[in-house]
Structures are given as C-alpha cells and as structure tokens.
Amino acid sequence: MEEGRWLSREGVLGLGTSLAREVVVLEEVDSTQRVARELAEGGAPEGTIVLARVQLGGKGRLGREWGSPPGGLWMSLVLRPEFEARFAPRITQISAVAVARALIGLGVPAKVKWPNDVLVGGRKVCGILAESSLRPTPAGTLLEYVLLGIGLNVNVEPEDLVVFGDRATTVRESLGREVDLLDPLARILRELETGLPDARSFSRTRKDLRSLSHTLGRQVRVARSGGAVEGLAVDITAEGALVLQTEGGMVELFEGDVENLRDRPEGQPR
C-alpha cells in the first residue's frame, strides 16, 4: 500500500494557522488524545496539535475502537474556548461540518450523519471525538480545555481499517489518487477557525448540518441510553438536536447512534 508522504512539524507550522501554533508529530502512539491531554494538563496553549503516523489505541465516539494505519490523518487539538460548558457538545458538530466542507473542497462528496460522523457514499470516512475538562467559576462552569480528536481515512485501503470493513471508505478511494496529507489538514484547520466561533449562536453550523445531512428525510432508528426510537428525521434544532416524526408525535434527540432503516440488509431483524 502506498502511504503517501508523512507530515513534518515544519510543514504543519508553515500553514500559519492559529490552530497549529504548537505542533507535535509522532511516528507511533497509542492515542493522540492521551498525548494531547497530558499537554493540556501541563498548560499547553490553544492551538497545540498532536499528529501521529500510526495510532495503536484510537477510540471513537461511544468508546469504539478506531483503526489508524499509516496513510491516515490522525490528530488531536487542544482548544481552550471561552464559553460556557453547555456549548461543548456543539464542538463535535462544528467539527463534522468543518471536515465535510474541507473534503468537498478537495472534490470529495462528503455528508454528515447526525450527530457528527462524516460519510462518503454512505460509508464512514472520518470519526470525531471531543473530550472536555470543566472549570467552575463564580460566573458558572467554563471549559478548561477541549481535546478535539479527528481521524480521517486519507491514503489507506478500507480493509486496512479492520474495524469498519466495507462500512468505511477513504479519500483516496473517492478521488482515485493519492492526497498530500498537508492539503486536507490545512483545509480542516481553516474550516475549524471559521466554524468554532459559531459555538454560541450555532446558526451557521445548523444551516450547514441541514444542507450536508445524510440523515434528514430518512426513516431512521436511533439507539440511545433511554431506549431506541424510530421515525422520520425531519429537522435539526438550534441546539443541534435531531427531530424525529414518530407514530407518537415529534421527538427531539440530543444523543444516540443513528441507523438508516432502508440501509438494513433484507431480512435483518430490528
């Protein structure tokens, strides 16, 4: 497998973005999130980015394993947003939009599956995970820092991802060519710079989530902690919740794992 040219610290710094002020580039690591957490606890500023050529113990949303072989973009960002902790869940959705827009700029027809998976042709191309540390203040609870993990399948074969098999795809598969990893990285960071300030109003992100959605207009089943819900996905609220039209009426969901019912293999039970 061709792995493409790996990133250099100098090359990432040369992007000149506020989200790559401090750059750590590793050959192999268990988890970029772990390294970023240690740096954040040690006072690393916003814009500290950790990238690894290979990640051995990557985790996605809901604690799922995330395969991270050579050729992908595996990274974690240290963010120190100055807003209330209640806005933290919006960061993953802002990030999903940022990745989708970056991929579209590359010529990849990306969509967002609620809440924050990025798909191409119905298959997963990117996973996003945000972990927060909170700080109580007299004015309320603020975010001490957020660790934003992004795993993008770039120049890898879907079968090398192991975990997702035929449910995963890659940027290279979509474009039919190798991609310099610095290109999608630069595009993602630029989109994040534009998108993160929208965390309070969420208006721009909500508009993009609607237009880029792979979920709206579909019959879905959402598995969540309070039990599964089925219905027609009809909207995304100003708070980022998914609105389902069910037999019992409209339901707003703030978390869950979405399955498109029409994508279910014939004969598979619900």
State the first-to-last Cα distance of the chain, in angstroms, to the nearest integer. 38
Helix (H, G, I), strand (E, B) or coil at 263: helix
pLDDT value at residue 162 = 59
User: What are the C-alpha distances in Å from 124 to residues 56, 106, 117, 135?
Assistant: 19, 17, 7, 34
Residue 226: both structure tokens together? 């309070």
Grade residue 3 by pLDDT with cuts at 50, 70 and 90. Answer: very low
Residue 269 lies in a domain: no
DSSP conformation class of 223 = E
* More reliable by pLDDT, 66 or 233: 233
Residue 65 lies in a domain: yes
Domain residue limits at 53: 9-211
Same domain, 68 and 148: yes
CA atoms within 13 Å, Cβ hemisphere of 265? 2
Same domain, 122 and 228: no
- Average pLDDT (166-174) is 90
Instruction: Please write the tens of the pLDDT for every residue from 37-69.
Output: 999 999 999 999 999 999 986 554 444 555 689
Same domain, 251 and 164: no
Same domain, 153 and 226: no
Domain with residue 15: its CATH number is 3.30.930.10
Residue 4 lies in a domain: no
Listed residues 187, 211, 235: the one ending a domain = 211
Averaged pLDDT score across all residues of the chain? 90
User: What are the C-alpha distances in Å from 242 to residues 24, 213, 253, 255?
Assistant: 36, 11, 5, 8
Residue 105: both structure tokens together? 């700029």
Residue 143 lies in a domain: yes
Residue 82 lies in a domain: yes
What letter represents residue 256's amino acid?
G
Nearest to 99 by CA among 78, 69, 70, 72: 72
Same domain, 231 and 151: no
Domain with residue 252: its CATH number is 2.30.30.100
State the pTM of this model: 0.91
Domain count, the chain: 2
Task: Give the Cα separation of 182 and 192 in Å (integer).
Answer: 15
User: Per-residue pLDDT for 14 more than 90?
Assistant: yes
Same domain, 186 and 232: no
Same domain, 133 and 18: yes
Grade residue 142 by pLDDT with cuts at 50, 70 and 90. Answer: confident
* More reliable by pLDDT, 88 or 158: 88
